[in-house]
Chains A and B, each alone.
Chain A
Amino acid sequence: MKKIHFICFALLLSFGWGCESDSEFLDRKPAETLTTEQAFSDPNQVLSILANLYNRQFSVYRLNDWQTFADFNEVLVTADDNLTNRWHTNSTWPFNGINDYWFTWDYAYIRELNLFLERIATSTISEDLKATYAAEARFLRANYYFELAKLYGGVPIILESQTYDFSGDPSYLQVPRSTEAGIYDFIIKEAEELKSLLPVNPDGKSRASKGAALAMKAQAAVFAGSLAKYRATTPSVSLPGGEIGIPVDRATGYYETALGAAQEIISGSAGAYSLYLKIPTNLSENFAALFYDKNANPEVIYEEEYLLKFKTHGYTIVNQPRFGAEEEEGGALNPSLNLVQEFELLDNTFAPLPTVDANGNPIYYENQGDIFAGRDARLGGTVILPGSIFKSRPVDIWAGVQLADGEIISGSERGQLRELPGNPTPQQVVGFDGPIAATNQNALAGFYIRKYLDPAPGSGRRGTQSDVSRIRYRYAEILLIAAEAAFELGQPDVAAGYMNEVRARAGFTTPLTGADITFDRIVHERRVEFALEGQYFMDLKRFRIAHKIFDGSSMTLEGLRSGIGTATNRSTQPWALWPYKIYEPGSPNDGKWIYKEVLPSRVTGADNWQLGNYYSSINNDILNNNPKLVRQPLQ
């Protein structure tokens, strides 16, 4: 009896379901994906697609990949893993950089930008939004081509989404490389058109604006100008088809373009940008704050934005001073002495850090920071120096205790206590922040990085991380581009004017005159202003100075101390500066500090830049897929 009930029930159910027509079932719209028409009919959907494209913009230097900031010998890499151990033991670089950091060939991204531009043209959202969003996508596309140009010179310029027709002949999809001049012309032309399509918006730092377009134009033009002018230094780095090598007679035109674009920003036509000067009483702190202050920062023109809880990075975690840090981690990158000594004295002269007097005797300092006194304020904003403060905590950097007879007592772990002669109570013999010889992840160069380190609580904690954004274009660079272009165009007084604005913010009171502006000055000013920001890499390449700086010879102490401020000064090995405390009870020197230059034990190679390193390699897979591409020179 009961069984019949069940059977009836089952029959009823199957009839109920079976009645739905089959075609309707198969035509059901998927709930989890949107069609192109749906996605492009709603302004919020379009914005989210655009946000994805913003999120994927490429840069060789990425805060969420801290190793990309290991800038040649401007830093000593002290982390201990298979990858970073190669930094100072190898003497040459692979053509694509260590770990392929100088490689990108993301034509999938370009295709998606092209698709976005094609689809938004038929979108049903308001015309105003369409125009702005399309301009932003074009900016991102030009921006990516600019990154490709920096690494490869001329590359295929593809401005439409290509589709294969399965005819068996893909040759119509294979685009040859443009000339190097051609790709820079393309970027400059796009930026010129975009400046009137993008909004004037000096407050929206992470979205393309008129200021960002003009900044891109100025930078692309000055890079192209210098590439044209200085390629004569390395004649073999070129290709007969012009894929590498801009004709030298075009240099002047590019410099004029750069100066014009920079002056457009300086005149205020793209909005009110200015040098960051919120803390005029402490210019070092001010310079550091420029990178972490995200509240109406007038210097930032365009940035790759990070935001807590959404997109964060661990740059502060890996590089923070070890003692009292929020994680038992830090100190992965140390600024080297090579960089630190490049910061000028305030009387506009260059000098090594005075560790010994004229007779070779050590100089005794009352306070740890005294050796750095009277230097460019940017030093303290770029580097955490011994005797300075980070996150309201004094750093404790010193390598050991020196006794009266010159013997050095040190420890093998941070802040170790040991007995000193004549004193049975153990004393601290080494800093809590290092340096500890032959270890890793502490102040092995005697310094920690300050730039881009986030002072906010939690920034050094893995669960929170930091949301300091990476600045792509800032006002100081516009000023220095204007200075460089004016100098190359034979207007040294104009160049001095722009450069002095940047230098005044660094605490220099004596302005440079037109006669002081030389090639070395231009290169040097960029090296210290943009230290550990990424510009150094491209400057090495476009001025064609890398093969002279990294000539493969190891460095002596005399070599280290000489040639400061010269663009081609040898820097093949990163040096360290270690402070020692004097222990001589009863002597006037007791408790004072001396400094010693040290070549860290992990530095065994001497860097040698091959001429083939000036451009990244187009690898065999890419060459195989497109036979119209030509190989890079000298590779």
Chain B
Amino acid sequence: MKMKFHYIILLALGTALMSCEKDNYEPPTSLLSGRVVYQGTPLNFEYDRVSYDLYQDGFGKTGPLGSTFTSEGAFSQLLFDGAYKMVIPGGQGPFVPLQTDAGTPDTIRISVNGNTTMDIEVTPYWMVRNTQLSAGGGQVTGTFALEKIITNANAKDVESVTLYVSKTLFANSQTNVATAVIEGGAITDVNNISLSATVPELVPAQNYVFASIGVKLAGVDDYIFSPTQKINL
């Protein structure tokens, strides 16, 4: 009996000692974050649509850490300190692709050392300006202007403009309860566009909605959005 007791003590002691050894890596702690901006103004996209790739060289195969920008155009990654490369693949985003002269996506070099904040400056084809969203009579009305930023050979035409009304902060083509569309050809004055959508019965009932304006450009997949606003009905 005494023998057994000794064994148990020995076993417990061994386990305790062995377990103290560090058998895992520290998790990454440096937060890389930033936003996509144009002249300091953050751009707004559709949630989970505009993607970016993050590479780190020197560890064998070079597969990207991929993710997408949020609807506020922000990105964030918890990383180890080191040198990273960020690439926005061609065709992503409603802005002029960041490209080298050879036409391949340009690389943004990032050195992560502790929490790092970095904004990415891009040039969108169009911007939504002076957005005023209001509610009244069961309707949400959006009044806004469109500004053409790119006017050279790379200019894109507006295909359609949509007012999205949603129950949540995600007011876009994937989640909405009401929309109002105007085709690009029907716009007479880009400085003064007005769209109204009737809010349907909300289940469960809520006395507020969220709304945003999305602009679809011909030949560009991703929409450019106005900031989403909360409107009390």
Interface residues of A (CB under 8 A from B): 91-92, 234-236, 240, 552-553, 605-606, 608, 610-612, 620-621, 624, 631, 633-635
Q: Is the CB of B219 within 8 A of A635?
A: no
Q: Is the CB of A608 within 8 A of B173?
A: yes
Additional 12 contacts, C-beta under 8 A, given A236-B91, A553-B181, A631-B89: A91-B173, A235-B219, A236-B219, A552-B173, A553-B173, A553-B179, A621-B63, A624-B63, A634-B90, A634-B91, A634-B92, A635-B89
Q: Is the CB of A611 within 8 A of B221?
A: yes
4 closest Cβ contacts across the A-B interface? A634-B91, A620-B63, A624-B61, A610-B221
Interface SS of A by simple majority: loop
What residues of chain A lie closer than 8 Å to B173, measured between beta carbons? 91, 552-553, 606, 608
Does B174 count as interface, using CB distance less than 8 angstroms?
yes
Q: Cα distance A631–B64 when bound, in Å?
A: 13
Q: Is the CB of B174 within 8 A of A605?
A: yes
Does B103 count as interface, using CB distance less than 8 angstroms?
yes
Q: Cα distance A620–B62 when bound, in Å?
A: 8
Interface residues of B (CB under 8 A from A): 49, 61-64, 89-92, 103, 173-174, 179, 181, 219, 221
Contact of B103 among A235, A240, A611 (CB under 8 A): A240
Q: In this complex, what residue of B is CB-closest to A234?
A: B219
Q: Is the CB of B62 within 8 A of A611?
A: no
Residue among B64, B90, B92 with max Cβ neighbours from chain A (10 Å):
B90
What residues of chain A lie closer than 8 Å to B91, measured between beta carbons? 236, 611-612, 633-635
Q: Cα distance A234–B218 when bound, in Å?
A: 10
What residues of chain A lie closer than 8 Å to B179, measured between beta carbons? 553
What residues of chain B lie closer than 8 Å to A610, measured between beta carbons? 221
Q: Cα distance A633–B99 when bound, in Å?
A: 13
**For chains A and B in complex, what number of residue pairs have CB atoms within 8 angstroms?**
38
What residues of chain B lie closer than 8 Å to A234, measured between beta carbons? 219
Q: In this complex, what residue of B is CB-closest to A635?
A: B89
Q: In this complex, what residue of B is CB-closest to A625?
A: B61
Q: Cα distance A608–B90 when bound, in Å?
A: 18
Q: Cα distance A612–B49 when bound, in Å?
A: 12
What residues of chain A lie closer than 8 Å to B89, measured between beta carbons? 631, 634-635
Shortest CB-to-CB span from B71 to chain A, Å, is 15
What residues of chain B lie closer than 8 Å to A631, measured between beta carbons? 89
Shortest CB-to-CB span from B185 to chain A, Å, is 15
Q: Cα distance A552–B64 when bound, in Å?
A: 28
Q: In this complex, what residue of B is CB-closest to A552?
A: B173
Shortest CB-to-CB span from B208 to chain A, Å, is 23
Q: In this complex, what residue of A is CB-closest to B48?
A: A92
Q: Cα distance A240–B104 when bound, in Å?
A: 10
Residue among B63, B64, B103, B221 with max Cβ neighbours from chain A (10 Å):
B221
Shortest CB-to-CB span from A69 to chain B, Å, is 26
Q: Cα distance A635–B91 when bound, in Å?
A: 7
Q: Cα distance A235–B91 when bound, in Å?
A: 11
Shortest CB-to-CB span from A89 to chain B, Å, is 10
Shortest CB-to-CB span from A554 to chain B, Å, is 8
Q: In this complex, what residue of A is CB-closest to B102?
A: A240
Q: Cα distance A608–B48 when bound, in Å?
A: 13
What residues of chain B lie closer than 8 Å to A634, measured between beta carbons? 89-92, 221
Q: In this complex, what residue of B is CB-closest to A605?
A: B174
Q: Cα distance A624–B92 when bound, in Å?
A: 22
Q: Cα distance A603–B58 when bound, in Å?
A: 46
Q: Cα distance A499–B181 when bound, in Å?
A: 39
| Contact A633-B90, Cβ < 8 Å, known A235-B219, A620-B64 | yes
Shortest CB-to-CB span from A629 to chain B, Å, is 13
What residues of chain A lie closer than 8 Å to B181, measured between beta carbons? 553
Shortest CB-to-CB span from B53 to chain A, Å, is 9
Shortest CB-to-CB span from B149 to chain A, Å, is 19
| Interchain residue pairs with CB less than 8 A apart (23) | A91-B173, A92-B49, A236-B90, A240-B103, A553-B173, A553-B179, A605-B174, A606-B173, A610-B221, A611-B91, A611-B221, A612-B91, A620-B64, A621-B63, A624-B62, A631-B89, A633-B90, A634-B89, A634-B90, A634-B92, A634-B221, A635-B89, A635-B91
What residues of chain A lie closer than 8 Å to B62, measured between beta carbons? 624
What residues of chain A lie closer than 8 Å to B103, measured between beta carbons? 240
Shortest CB-to-CB span from A608 to chain B, Å, is 7
Q: Cα distance A605–B64 when bound, in Å?
A: 29
Shortest CB-to-CB span from B49 to chain A, Å, is 8
Q: Cα distance A620–B179 when bound, in Å?
A: 38
Q: In this complex, what residue of A is CB-closest to B66?
A: A620
What residues of chain B lie closer than 8 Å to A553, measured between beta carbons? 173, 179, 181
Shortest CB-to-CB span from A505 to chain B, Å, is 40
What residues of chain B lie closer than 8 Å to A621, measured between beta carbons? 63
Q: Cα distance A605–B89 when bound, in Å?
A: 25
Q: In this complex, what residue of A is CB-closest to B159?
A: A551
Q: Cα distance A495–B221 when bound, in Å?
A: 35
What residues of chain A lie closer than 8 Å to B64, measured between beta carbons? 620
What residues of chain B lie closer than 8 Å to A240, measured between beta carbons? 103
What residues of chain B lie closer than 8 Å to A605, measured between beta carbons? 174
What residues of chain B lie closer than 8 Å to A606, measured between beta carbons? 173
Q: Cα distance A236–B154 when bound, in Å?
A: 12
Q: Is the CB of B174 within 8 A of A91?
A: yes
Q: In this complex, what residue of A is CB-closest to B222?
A: A610
